[in-house]
Chain A
Amino acid sequence: MRSVLPVLTVVAAILGIWYAASVWMNSTWTLDQAQRAGTTPTFSEMVTDTLAQERPKLPAPHQVARELWETTVEKSITSRRSLVHHAWITLSAALAGFAIGTGLGILLAVGIVHSRVMDMSVMPWAIASQTIPILAIAPMIIVVLNSVGVTGLLPKAIISAYLSFFPVVVGMVSGLRSPDAMQMDLLRTYSASRAQAFWKLRLPASMPYLFASLKVGVAASLVGAIVGELPTGAVAGLGARLLAGSYYGQTVQIWSALFMAAILAALMVGAIGLVQRITLRRMGMAR
């Protein structure tokens, strides 16, 4: 609670810088227009004009907020102009991909922990693949899957799955290995089987690691879904809104799509944080 005031200060500072920047960046257009009309605007006239332009270089925060309000609350959800509609398309792809990626990631991590061959052969490549800009493959995956006849949600979900897969693998491998030698020895003195050791010790011990990597993975899956919408040519979804906005110079639309993406990311990370807190408390691991 004691960090509320500092956070509010920082947010206020960001908003202040934003307003100043939008006045400064949009003033060229205003001055240009005024010169053509043969007038010289006073400072206050210029400020009011820069904050209310149709296609500003940098829209002011209140313009973005109004656009967000109009496209989420005032439009019906089924309308193609509704941002909720686009957000839902992106979110469903991201969530589907996140579920697939997390499931496969956990399975692979279990395999890696229990098989030395898998550990020695797959793990170095899993780590090396983190250094590769995977997102660069996104347009290819989309186009190839389209040409095979797979369209709609699935191609985007595959990219999301791919992006959320590796954080989960790496996190779960270190999580499943986190019980120390003493605890493993204790289970051996109980003559616990490998399966019992897995269910009673390794899996519970890995939960904090799992949630930490889920948070990374869910953010990555949203990025994957957004980038996955770019090459299909701006049909639907937040990525399409970004692309269409950039084609037609609709800056307010770009910013509102960006904020919607930020809100989605925050909601998903927040939801996982909530599940994490509840789970860890019920397991008695909360600190």
Chain B
Amino acid sequence: MSWLLLGTVFWVGALVLNLRLARHPGSRAARLAVAAVFGVTLLVVWECVVRGLGVPGVILPPPSAIAARFAASTHILWVDFVQTFVKGALSGYAMGCGAAVLTAIAVDRFEFLKRGLLPVGNFVAALPIIGTAPILVMWFGFDWQSKAAVVVAMVFFPMLVNTVQGLESATAMQRDLMRTWSAGRGQTLMKLTLPAAMPFIFNGLKICTTLALIGAIVAEFFGSPIRGMGFRISTEVGRLALDMVWAEITVAALAGSAFYGAVALIEKGVTFWHPSQRG
């Protein structure tokens, strides 16, 4: 009972604090503080509710138990992280996105192909491609190669559609200018269309960060060696060791956010000229 009371008190206190903070918006620190207070409150209320109501750990473990499990099994988590994220997701992401950009550059030269490929690409991008996971696991075996293949299949079409749209974004005026300078196809591509496409390309890259991680994890549900985040999640769920599952999800969340943040940071450096980055 006292836990529930504590939770309520903390919640009300945080709400008052946030209301006061939100009255003076504008500064970056205030914005960060409000979001941070909300996040911390969520964790504290979770902890208090679980302890106060005596929710069993096999249904919802408290954050403290998850943190303890996280600290106790960093070794396993690291092995899983390397297997799923570095080997599976990152390699697939690099291959898929690279292939998509190259395909887009090739397609961009032919109006006919572009008109055919864009609708098909848009259509495929909306399909549940994750369903190809069992097939690809069958083809490429249980190890990380099949996960990378699933990731390639998932990121290729969103990336292709974004890049093709980006390559079209240079205006006719700009193209004409390049022509008056008698720039060749390669020069126009490197100096005008590719830089102009960067905001779109990075939009695609950012969407694909999440897709890559999801693809690598879900592909492991269909078979994997005895390590990997998806493998650990599905087996620990079976053993009802939910604190381990949550620790694994924490790793996935951290990895996903860091991956996204890294791509966003690179974007900031590359597309510094774009209005959305100058503001």
A133 surroundings in chain B (CB, below 8 A): 210, 213-214, 217, 252-253, 256
Are B130 and A254 within 8 A (Cβ)?
A: no
Which of B174-208 touch A at CB < 8 Å?
none
A184 interface residue per 8 A CB criterion: no
Complex Cα distance, B119 from A269, in Å, reads 13
A121 interface residue per 8 A CB criterion: yes
Can you name the residue of chain B whose Cβ is closest to the Cβ of A128? B257
Which of B129-165 touch A at CB < 8 Å?
130-135, 137-139
How many A-B residue pairs lie within 8 Å, measured between CB atoms? Answer: 163
**How does the 8 Å CB contact mask read for B42-62 relative to A, with 1 for contact and 0 for none?**
000000000000000011100
Stretch among B17-25, B63-71, B267-275 lining the A interface: B17-25
A144 interface residue per 8 A CB criterion: yes
Are B58 and A147 within 8 A (Cβ)?
A: yes
A143 interface residue per 8 A CB criterion: yes
A243 surroundings in chain B (CB, below 8 A): 134, 222
Main SS class of interface, B: helix
Interface bin, chain A: 35 or more
Which of these, B59, B115, B133, B218, contacts A148 with CB under 8 Å?
B59
Can you name the residue of chain A whose Cβ is closest to the Cβ of B23? A116
Interface size on B, residues (CB 8 A): 64
Complex Cα distance, B218 from A133, in Å, reads 10
Using CB atoms and an 8 Å cutoff, list the residues of chain B in contact with chain A.
15, 18-19, 21-22, 25, 30-31, 34-35, 37-39, 58-60, 112-117, 119-120, 123, 126-128, 130-135, 137-139, 209-210, 213-214, 217-218, 221-223, 229-230, 233-234, 237-238, 240, 242, 245, 248-249, 252-253, 256-257, 259-261
Using CB atoms and an 8 Å cutoff, list the residues of chain A in contact with chain B.
2-3, 5-11, 14, 25, 57, 116-117, 120-122, 124-125, 128, 130-137, 139-140, 143-144, 147-148, 215, 219, 222-223, 226-227, 230-231, 238, 242-243, 245-246, 249, 251, 254-255, 257-258, 261-262, 265-266, 269
